Each structure stands twice: as structure tokens, then as C-alpha cells.
Amino acid sequence: MTALPEVTVKNLGLIDYKEAWDLQEQYFKAAIDRKIALRNGENLPPPSNYLLFCEHPNVYTIGKSGNEENLLLSSVEVAKKDASYYKINRGGDITYHGPGQLVVYPILDLEQFFTDIHKYMRFLEQAVINTLLQFNIRAGRIEGMTGVWVDSEKPSARKISAMGVKSSRWVTMHGIGFNINTDLGFFSHIVPCGIADKAVTSMQKELGAKVDIQKVEMLILEEFKSLFGFEIKEN
């Protein structure tokens, strides 16, 4: 029987966006360098995969194909909101991260799982959909729009989780922003993901009460394990 891939799970807590981005880049580069070395005939130990969980202080990020006009604030106004702004190297448009939002960064070598980015994105969405169902929140997809939506089949569809990734040589980085107890007011200063006619929501808003973010993290980790089929590597 083939051994399952191993994934190191880390909870980074509340961490500055750039600090977490730099850590992702470090793991991402190490995975790619290893693959290049293997193809050059070097004998190396099994590769490392990571699943990073965290929250960020208030920050707006925009993907490489995003429209900067979707940020409705000047740089001075962003600073007044005690927020930061970064142009980053993922796909997708603009989004917001902040306290109360669970951020998940998978740095995975998909050659250990499956080589299909479309399937990868659907698995990210499914992990969120399955987690929400355990709180009796029914969510789904909208065709042509990445992410997870509450009441996805209705005109009142509300986005509860945004996604944007980068991949190279089948190694992934960036990932999921999942609104748990998020201050949704910060979304009013952007056109979220470049979609002007849809609202955003959070678990707290849908349930009418704060949610234990650590419980959500534990549940979504189990969904990742079930969908991707891996073992957690002991640190």
C-alpha cells in the first residue's frame, strides 16, 4: 500500500500579512528547488507540504490581474483605517483579510496528489462548503465565480469565502479567506473580487452569534485530510 503524503500543519496566529507571505515564499521556493534538484539526479528526502492557518491584521490584497480601481480608498485613507495594501502574485482581484477571518495557505506539491488546478480549486471550495454544513449553513458555488457562497442559487447570494492561488511546477501557495467573525465593514471600501453586484457575509452574520474560530479550523483541517488524502506530519 502506497504511503499517504505528509503535510505539516502550523497555526501562525495573528500574523502580519507580509511576514506570512514571506514564509509561504520560503516553503514554496524550497519545494520547487527540490523538484529541480531531483530532475538533476540528486537523491533527496521526501518533500514537505504545509498547511498554514492564521489571521491577519487589516489588509487589502490584489492579485496580479486585479483592477486597482476596485480599491475605493486612497493610500492615505487605507492608513487611516489602520490597514495595509499589497499587490501580490496570486490570481484573482482584490480582497480583504482581517481579525476574525480564518486564512488557510496550502503549500502543496500537487504531484503527490493530482495534477489538476481546476480540481484543486474545487477541493478548496468543497472543504469550506462541508465545514459550513456542520453549522447548518448551506453554501455552494456560482458557475464562473471562484469561491463559496451562501444562498448560491438565489439573487441574494452572499460570498463567505474567497480564494486565490499561485502555482508553479505543481506547487501551490496563497489560498482561502474564510469569513468567520470578520468585520464586514472593511469590504465596503472595495469591490470584493471585482464583483459589484454581490454581497459578502460571515458565519457570525449568518448564525447571529460569534463562532469559535479554532473549532472551524479543526473541522476544515479534517475536511482537507478527507478530500486530499494525507497524514499530518508531526513537527
Catalytic residues: 193
Grid-cell match 489560498, residue found: 175
Distance between terminal CA atoms of the chain? 24
3-state secondary structure of 208: coil
* Residue 233: HSE in the Cβ half-sphere, 13 Å Cα cutoff: 16
Alpha helices in the chain (DSSP H): 17-39, 75-80, 117-133, 203-207, 213-224
Take residue 23 and report the three cell numbers written for it. Answer: 514564509
Q: Which own/partner pairs from 73-76 qualify as long-range (CB within 8 Å, at least 24 positions apart)?
A: 73/189, 73/190
Single out the residue of 56, 108, 55 nearest to residue 86, CA to CA. Answer: 56
In whole angstroms, how far apart are CA 207 and each of 23, 138, 139, 156?
34, 12, 13, 16
Single out the residue of 61, 93, 71, 92 nearest to residue 166, CA to CA. Answer: 92
Residue 12's identity, in one-letter code, is: L
Give backbone dihedrals phi and psi of 134, rounded to 5 degrees, phi first. Answer: -70, -10
